[in-house]
Structure 1
């Protein structure tokens, strides 16, 4: 009977341990970016993917459950663009970012200077935006088709999710190309995970000082869901088995 109890508890402990190791639940803290001049800023975040534990990390793949809206701002009441993704998945092994959907929505600032940030266009002499874009072409979140109209002209690639899928998709500048793991502290209760695009020196992540060398650097910072110490010990299986052995030994 004693051996049976221990074997049953051991099986539960192994299950808990493997489940815990398979994926850490996280909460997004920062969706950060550096401007063309190297100024550090963070998007204003909203959506169901900002809920506690809405993200999962298995050591190589980061995935979100729900919608994340990230607003690139320029001061009170001033917005540049908004990146909206649903069920985003970042694979640091393959170097890919995918999602169920992605859209870029234009803010209220760039139109005043004759530009469109999502489309990367100049509005021409009439200051009228006559261009457009189709996102999620054929159900592919990495496929954007831009159409330039009127006297608008291109100033670069349209903004997209990650990297163009090729074929009939336009080349894009990805908003979420954070494919590299800068640091992974999720092995510690409540630790941080930082992914970045590696587009500058590491100081671009460790400091917030304006630095032209950091232009274009982006990052995601997430925090592992804190687990109460007793549950953490229970999940490891070690505390559970130790306690069981002592109790069974005392009753023998």
Structure 2
């Protein structure tokens, strides 16, 4: 199976960048499924039905969220109606949070892919154990038996917590990928048990910025400790960052992981994708 995961879409720039580049990427890489983290899609904070529709229209099959899931209040009702929108799975079962933390999708060709989203706990909101939540999701749709592919989006601050999740899922997931820090890491690899892993997919955002935000306000706060307003997404051309994964058709484990970085400021620093598509 051939699929791609794209990191946090930040504001209009990220949405427009994905709309510009994703259709061609789907064709060139022969993608069967596309997952996008969209928790910053609406002006940098949360998601709305309108911004979600833009991403679905661009070619996304599933949207994952994170710590900004509910910044836009309409998300609380929209997620009930939209099964392609996945929020963190490790909310307490007693918290009455709407939506779902994982879902098993079927492609037009009949392949099944499980998508799981969890929120880390190190320097993040205090939710339930993400490892226990992922374990339950993996047991509900085992790789190679129920699911042809399994993707875990670990939305977390600490690289160590993301790496730990990768090894925890090794051999049971096709891909474990980190989101939230908006900077693409250079550690894409296939772990010993066959799970593809990257600490952070990066962001779909203008990288002439501070993690996708206009530079002035973050610099003011770092240098003076005095806030002068709210953060606003940078508005220049976005670099679309993510990972491409190809799995073994029998086991669902990874046999290739490659970075995706097109457009904007970062794309010239990595190998061109036509090499991946041609192999």
TM-score by length of 1: 0.36
Larger Rg: 1
Give me the TM-score of the superposition, normalised by structure 2: 0.33
